[in-house]
């Protein structure tokens, strides 16, 4: 299946429309869990430092670990939602493995971005597009950080302008969602996340379930 920005956006929207309240509910659950994590870590900081605004080592470590688990769950959820939009459940949001590989990939990706932007903005953007799907690959294929970055570089080769255009459009969509009293994010975030996942699945050439194929054909 050939990748295009328009096809990714259409897929995101058509898939969202299949179960709009389910995707809105999943987004609200992710936000709720993130809020609870923030409250818990702020309370830990307050107990250890006397101020909820002054981070502690323990609070920071717990916040990082729980934040990674939330991100892993969201990634796994949208992969499952892409492949089987009619049958995916909220259980997909719990995906704690491979935690250490995902953490290592996140750190390595962040360091690469930092080096790229220190060298000037353009190298940073190029690195970001090269390794765009690193964490998706860790969750999807259980690869280690370096192997996942190599695979991301391979599947994005020759598609960086398309991916840049997609990212800019998704950013614009979420800005518009934020401007709509923030409530628009409940629609824009799942639509953009599904579109991004479509881009990954298409470029990786991964076979998808019949459910996702039917949505794509409906375009």
144-147, long-range: CB < 8 A, 24+ apart: 144/101, 144/104, 144/105, 145/101, 145/104, 145/105, 145/107, 145/108, 146/108
Specify burial of residue 202 (Cβ count, 10 A radius: 0-12, 13-18, 19+): buried
Nearest to 92 by CA among 174, 23, 181: 23
Q: State which residues of the chain have pLDDT below 50.
A: 210, 219
Give residue-wise pLDDT tens across range 128-182. 899 999 999 999 999 999 999 999 999 999 899 999 999 999 999 999 988 877 7
Q: Is the peptide bond before 158 cis (omega within 30 degrees of 0)?
A: no
Cα–Cα distance for residue pair 90/27, rounded to 1 Å: 10
Widest pairwise Cα distance in the chain: 57
The per-residue b/e assignment along 66-83, b for 16 or more CB within 10 angstroms, e otherwise, is bebbbbbbbbbbbbbbbb
pTM for the model stands at 0.88
Rounded to 5 degrees, what angle do the CA atoms 168, 173, 217 make? 90
State residue 215's pLDDT score.
52
The residue ranges of every structural domain in the chain are 5-209
pLDDT score at 210: 47
């Amino acid at each position: 299946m050939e990748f295009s920005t328009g096809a990714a956006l259409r897929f995101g929207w058509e898939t969202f429309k299949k179960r709009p309240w389910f995707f809105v509910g999943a987004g609200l659950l992710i936000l709720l869990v993130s809020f609870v994590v923030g409250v818990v870590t702020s309370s830990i900081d307050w107990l250890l430092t006397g101020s909820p605004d002054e981070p502690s080592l323990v609070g920071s470590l717990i916040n990082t670990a729980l934040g990674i688990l939330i991100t892993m769950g969201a990634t796994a959820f949208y992969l499952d939602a892409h492949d089987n939009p009619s049958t995916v459940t909220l259980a997909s949001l719990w995906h704690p493995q491979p935690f250490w590989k995902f953490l290592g990939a996140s750190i390595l990706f962040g360091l690469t971005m930092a080096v790229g932007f220190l060298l000037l903005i353009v190298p940073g953007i190029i690195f970001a597009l090269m390794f765009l799907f690193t964490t998706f690959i860790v969750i999807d294929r259980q690869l280690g950080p370096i192997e996942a970055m190599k695979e991301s570089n391979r599947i994005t080769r020759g598609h960086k302008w398309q991916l840049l255009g997609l990212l800019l459009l998704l950013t614009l969509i979420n800005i518009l969602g934020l401007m709509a009293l923030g409530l628009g994010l409940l629609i824009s975030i799942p639509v953009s996340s599904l579109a991004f996942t479509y881009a990954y699945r298409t470029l990786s050439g991964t076979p998808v379930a019949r459910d996702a194929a039917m949505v794509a054909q409906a375009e």
